[in-house]
Each structure stands twice: as C-alpha cells, then as structure tokens.
Structure 1
C-alpha cells in the first residue's frame, strides 16, 4: 500500500514540476522576468528610491 502512495506522490510532484517549468518558460512571462533580471544592474537614486534608466 505504501508503494502505491509513493508512486502517486511522485507522479503528482512530477506533473507539478513540469507545470511550473512550462509556466516559467512561457513567452508571456519573458518581459517580466527580463525586467526583474535587470533590476540589480539599474542605478537607484538614493533620495527617491527610483531607478535611473539613463
């Protein structure tokens, strides 16, 4: 019985992993992920906390 539970849990986690992978690599998320990836590279105005994109 425990082997069946382990097998079902493995299958559920595999499907969940593949679903998250597909969501992360979908084209509609690319713009947001690219913006977040560039945040550490932007200069920040210390007084206002607003990024300077010059």
Structure 2
C-alpha cells in the first residue's frame, strides 16, 4: 500500500461521511428538530433577562 492508496481511501471515507451528514440533515425525522432550533431565538423565555435589567423597557 503506497501513499496514493491511502489518499484514495481517505477520499472515499470523506465522501461517505459527507453523504451520511447530508442524509441525516435532509431526513424526515430531522425536520421537526431543526424547526424547533430555528425558532429558539423567538421563544418567550425573556423573563430572566428582564429581571436582570429592570430599567430597560420591553
């Protein structure tokens, strides 16, 4: 086994990892979790921040 065989194996392994990540990201089960994560900045959990800075109006 020379360096070119190792490079080929690493290229194939990288491609398989990439395809696995793409399959996970676009899978049917992942959509709900991604939508929840996307809406986290808009969640109504600002009570602790409002208590820390009472002088700022909401």
Report TM bin, short chain: 0.7 to 0.9
Q: Which runs of 4+ in 1 moved over 6 A?
A: none
How many positions carry a matched residue from both structures?
47
Task: Quote how far apart the aligned CAs of 1:44 are.
Answer: 1.8
Structure 1 Cα separation of the partners of residues 38 and 46 of structure 2: 19
Bigger proportion of residues as strand: 1
Paired position in structure 2 for 1:44? 45
Could you tell me which runs of 5 or more consecutive residues in structure 2 were left unpaired when the two chains were aligned: 49-58
When normalised by structure 1's length, the TM-score is 0.76
CA distance in 1: counterparts of 2:15 and 2:6, whole angstroms: 14
